[in-house]
């Protein structure tokens, strides 16, 4: 097919080839213009469609790449916004956690203080009870020693009735 077009391209050159000499005074401008017009039209007919397709394809390819880049840019912006929102949410959560931890620490410290206070009160009561018990033991021991000394030594002459009256007064 291209050979036919090539032959058509050469045909006007062969047909219009002039054997004119320099002295004739005839110019060959008209055949040359016709030759050039035929050559340009054949060249346009052969090359125009592939060139148009190339540039159309190239334009579409550039447009597709531009669209792809814009989509990626939009996705990047969306991801950035999501990341910023996540950071903001994390900051708010951190503040909430800190506040909760402070409240829990306050509550725990109050509970520990109350427990320590109760333990101290219990220890004080226990200490007071022991002191009381020890004082009673000591007073009993002293009373017993005094009574034994008095009865064993015969220093006091008490009768049973007098002794019973003393005990009754102590009990009452």
User: Tokens for 130?
Assistant: 């022991």
Residue 102 to residues 93, 97, 99, 107, Cα–Cα distance (Å): 14, 9, 5, 9
- 160 in any annotated domain: no
Q: CA-to-CA distance for 21 and 18, rounded, in angstroms?
A: 9
**pLDDT tens string 27-56:** 788 888 999 999 999 888 889 899 999 999
pLDDT of residue 72: 96
Q: CA-to-CA distance for 9 and 6, rounded, in angstroms?
A: 5
For the chain, the average pLDDT equals: 83
Q: 113-119 contacts: CB < 8 A, separation 24 or more?
A: none
**pLDDT tens string 119-165:** 999 999 999 999 988 888 887 777 777 677 666 666 666 666 776 77
pTM of whole model > 0.85?
Answer: no
Residues 6+ away with beta carbon under 8 Å from 43: 9
- 172 in any annotated domain: no
- 155 in any annotated domain: no
- 149 in any annotated domain: no
- As for how many domains the chain has, the answer is 1
Query: Cα-atom radius of gyration of the chain, to the nearest Å?
Result: 63
Q: What is the DSSP letter of 24?
A: S
Range of the domain at 68: 2-18+26-123
- 130 in any annotated domain: no
Sign of CA dihedral 133, 138, 144, 150: negative
Q: Decide if 33 contacts 70 (C-beta within 8 A).
A: no
- 164 in any annotated domain: no
Number of Cβ within 10 Å of residue 32's Cβ equals 13
Q: Decide if 6 contacts 45 (C-beta within 8 A).
A: no
- 138 in any annotated domain: no
- 128 in any annotated domain: no
């Amino acid at each position: 097919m291209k050979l036919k077009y090539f032959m058509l391209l050469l045909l006007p050159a062969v047909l219009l080839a002039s054997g004119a000499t320099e002295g004739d005074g005839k110019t060959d401008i008209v055949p040359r213009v016709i030759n050039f017009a035929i050559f340009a039209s054949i060249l346009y007919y052969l090359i125009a469609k592939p060139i148009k397709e190339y540039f159309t394809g190239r334009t579409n390819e550039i447009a597709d790449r531009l669209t792809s880049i814009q989509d990626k840019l939009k996705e990047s912006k969306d991801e950035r916004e999501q990341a910023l929102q996540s950071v903001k949410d994390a900051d708010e959560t951190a503040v909430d956690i800190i506040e909760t931890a402070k409240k829990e620490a306050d509550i725990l410290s109050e509970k520990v203080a109350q427990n320590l206070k109760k333990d101290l009160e219990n220890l004080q009561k226990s200490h007071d009870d022991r002191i009381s018990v020890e004082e009673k033991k000591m007073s009993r021991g002293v009373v017993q020693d005094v009574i034994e000394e008095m009865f064993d030594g015969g220093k006091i002459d008490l009768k049973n009735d007098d002794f019973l009256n003393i005990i009754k007064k102590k009990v009452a």
